[in-house]
Structure formats: structure tokens, C-alpha cells
């Protein structure tokens, strides 16, 4: 399944940041229970097509600070495309995205990351020869976004004490301390996913977005990953947006879910509520899920 990163150039965000003031209307379809507070993330009526395919048709979501929200739906429902629109890998044809009240529609992905939106990818994207610790160190330095990253590439810089400490904290949190010096090429898929997650955490995200993190993992690894995401949410107070097929994992991690089918929002609420919804059952059962 394409993950939306290979579309035509004009669909990819290339513009500079143009932050504007926030609007106060709450048009999103998924309104957190704490409706008085301004959401951390607000996406309003996002639509995008690829050729003849309407990948997203008016999808909205709100995620409050520190909240965990799931996005589920059958294959091809538009989940990854929605993620790409939120993170800045894709520019929607219409709709808007606000982060902490700030319009980020014209902001490229790296600037959104700097604001605190970090993501993992459906396919594990890592450099095989680098060690686990080096992966996290590069992510830590990318967060700072200064010239030292270039020095690193020339092997001239060395990480500061706080940077090293933060990397060790993340290694500990994701349970990879003992594998810190191992090249990622030698890791199991489960551990590669933890490196991916660790890299996202190195950015100290306010919103952590994970696309199918359990893909390819066995039941035990999936449970460990779910527990880890919960711990991340509790310990770092980051909000979580989780795209996931494994509904046990969704149940463990999120507070509520949005269901997409053929690019349209078809249900929202607690996982039990939406799974009891006839439209959701037919969307899943109709595709043998
Ligand atoms: N780059 C692209 N070019 C053309 N069509 C695309 C592209 N990316 C996605 N699509 C199409 O858009 C629709 C939504 O795809 P998307 O990958 O967002 O679904 P998904 O819900 O993430 O699916 P999965 O559960 O299989 O990961 C699909 O019909 C897909 O084929
Ligand atoms: Mg996907």
C-alpha cells in the first residue's frame, strides 16, 4: 500500500511557514470530553484525491493536550493519507490544520516536527549500519536544529551532556539500553519499531503520531508496545494519535477513536461504541477484517 509520500510534486508541501492567529470555532467532528480547553490539534474538513480516488472527503479531528486518540478503518480507508496531511508530507486540496491554535497548513513537515509533532512510519525507516544510540543521538540533535548536526556528519562534534542524558533516558524508556551499541541492521523488527519510536520521542513531542506500529510484530511484542505507548503518554504528557489495525492494541492505548471508510468519517466514540455501530461492522466485515 503506498504511504502517500510519492505523489506528484504539487501535492507535496514546499511552502514556508505562515502562522496565523487561531480561530475559535470548533467544527471538528471528534470533540474531546474537555470541550472547554483549546485542543492541541484541530484538523477541519480535510479532503484530498489522487487521480480518480477520493482518498479523504471532509475528515475532521480534535486531539486535546495529553489525550490518546485512535484512527481505525479497513485497508485503503485513508488513514495514512490523513496522517500525511497532518504532518505536512501531503498538502490537502481543502481543509485546515491547527496545532496549539496556530494554522500550520503551509508549514513543511520539518517545521511541524519542531513545533512538537513527531511521527513514526508504517514502514520502518532507519539507517541499517548506525547503532541504536547513534540513531537517537541524531534525532536529539535534529531537534535542536543547529549547526552541530552538520558537524556530526563530519564526525567533528560530540553530543553535550544533556543530549547524552536524554538519549539514555529514551533508551531506558523504550527498553533498548542493552542494545545501544548494536547496529540497527542486527535488530529484530520489534526492536526496530522501538528505535523508530525512540527517534520520535527524541523530538520531545507534544503530539506523537504512530502509523501501524504493531505491523509485523507478534502478540507479545504488540502488547509490550501498547504498554510502552501508554507509559509515554503518562510520563511525557504527550498526546498520541494512533493508526492501528490491531484492535486489542487500540483498546489498550486510546481513549476514543475515529473510524474512516473510503476516506469518509463513519463513526466516532469509544472503541466499544464504534464497534457496535452497524456502519462500522459492515465496513469491516464487508472486507473480511
Ligand atoms: N501516493 C498515492 N497515489 C495514489 N493513490 C494513493 C496514494 N496514497 C494513497 N493512495 C490511495 O488513497 C487511498 C487511501 O490510502 P491510505 O494509504 O491512506 O489508506 P490506509 O487507510 O492507510 O490503508 P492501510 O490500512 O492499508 O495502510 C487508497 O485508495 C490508496 O490506494
Ligand atoms: Mg496506511
> 30 and 164 share a domain?
no
Domain count, the chain: 2
CA of 7, closest atom in ligand 1: 1
The CATH number covering residue 136 comes to 3.40.50.300
Least confident of 4-13, 67-76, 274-283: 4-13
The answer to whether residue 150 scores a pLDDT higher than 70 is no
Instruction: Specify the pLDDT at position 5.
Output: 36
Instruction: Point out the domain boundary residue: 177, 204, 231.
Output: 204
Which residue from 103, 22, 28 is spatially nearest to 62, judged by alpha carbons? 28
Please, which pLDDT band fits residue 146 given cuts at 50, 70 and 90? Answer: low
More confident residue, 19 or 62: 62
Instruction: Indicate if 181 and 219 belong to the same structural domain.
Output: no
- The string of pLDDT tens digits covering residues 60-103 is 999 999 999 999 999 999 999 999 999 999 999 999 999 999 99
Residue that is last in its domain, among 204, 238, 265:
204
Q: Give yes or no: residues 190 and 233 share one domain.
A: no
Which ligand is nearest the CA of 79, by number? 1
- Same structural domain, 282 and 190: no
| 222 CB near ligand 1 (under 6 Å) | no
What is the arithmetic mean of pLDDT over 259-285?
Answer: 92
Distance in Å, CA 261 to ligand 2 centroid: 12
User: Does residue 105 share a domain with residue 240?
Assistant: yes
Q: Which of 19, 99, 98, 93 has its CA nearest to residue 50?
A: 93
Co-location of 148 and 111 in the same domain? no
**Distance from the CA of 53 to the center of ligand 1, in angstroms?**
9
Report the predicted TM-score, pTM, of the whole model to 2 decimal places.
0.83
Domain span at 73: 1-116+206-289
Task: Inform me whether the pLDDT recorded for 1 exceeds 70.
Answer: no
Q: Are residues 20 and 9 in the same domain?
A: yes
Q: How far is the CA of 183 from the centre of ligand 1 (A)?
A: 32
Whether 163 and 245 share a structural domain:
no
Amino acid at each position: 500500500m503506498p504511504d502517500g509520500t510519492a505523489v506528484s510534486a504539487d501535492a507535496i508541501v514546499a511552502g514556508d511557514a505562515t502562522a496565523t492567529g487561531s480561530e475559535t470555532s470548533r467544527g471538528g467532528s471528534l470533540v474531546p470530553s474537555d470541550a472547554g480547553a483549546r485542543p492541541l490539534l484541530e484538523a477541519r474538513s480535510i479532503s484530498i484525491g489522487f487521480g480518480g480516488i477520493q482518498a479523504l472527503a471532509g475528515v475532521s479531528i480534535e486531539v486535546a493536550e495529553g489525550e490518546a486518540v485512535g484512527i481505525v478503518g479497513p485497508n485503503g480507508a485513508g488513514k495514512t493519507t490523513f496522517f500525511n496531511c497532518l504532518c505536512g508530507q501531503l498538502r490537502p486540496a481543502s481543509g485546515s490544520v491547527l496545532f496549539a491554535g496556530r494554522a500550520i497548513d503551509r508549514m513543511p513537515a520539518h517545521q511541524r516536527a519542531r513545533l512538537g509533532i513527531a511521527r513514526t512510519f508504517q514502514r520502518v525507516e532507519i539507517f541499517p549500519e548506525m547503532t541504536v544510540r547513534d540513531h537517537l543521538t541524531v534525532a536529539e540533535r535534529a531537534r535542536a536544529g543547529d549547526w552541530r548536526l552538520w558537524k556530526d556528519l563530519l564526525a567533528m562534534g560530540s553530543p553535550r551532556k544533556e543530549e547524552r542524558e536524554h538519549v539514555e533516558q529514551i533508551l531506558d524508556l523504550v527498553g533498548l539500553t542493552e542494545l545501544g551499541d548494536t547496529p540497527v541492521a542486527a535488530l529484530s523488527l520489534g526492536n526496530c519499531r522501538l528505535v523508530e519510536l525512540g527517534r520520535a520521542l527524541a523530538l520531545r513531542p507534544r503530539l506523537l503520531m504512530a502509523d501501524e506500529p504493531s505491523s509485523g510484530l507478534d502478540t507479545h511484542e504488540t502488547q509490550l508496545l501498547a504498554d510502552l505507548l501508554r507509559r509515554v503518554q503518562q510520563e511525557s504528557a504527550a498526546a498520541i494519535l494512533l493508526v492501528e489495525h490491531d484492535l486489542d492494541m487500540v483498546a489498550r492505548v486510546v481513549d476514543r477513536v475515529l473510524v474512516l471508510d473510503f476516506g469518509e468519517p463513519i463513526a466516532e466514540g469509544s472503541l466499544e461504541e464504534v464497534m457496535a455501530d452497524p456502519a462500522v461492522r459492515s465496513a469491516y466485515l464487508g472486507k473480511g477484517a
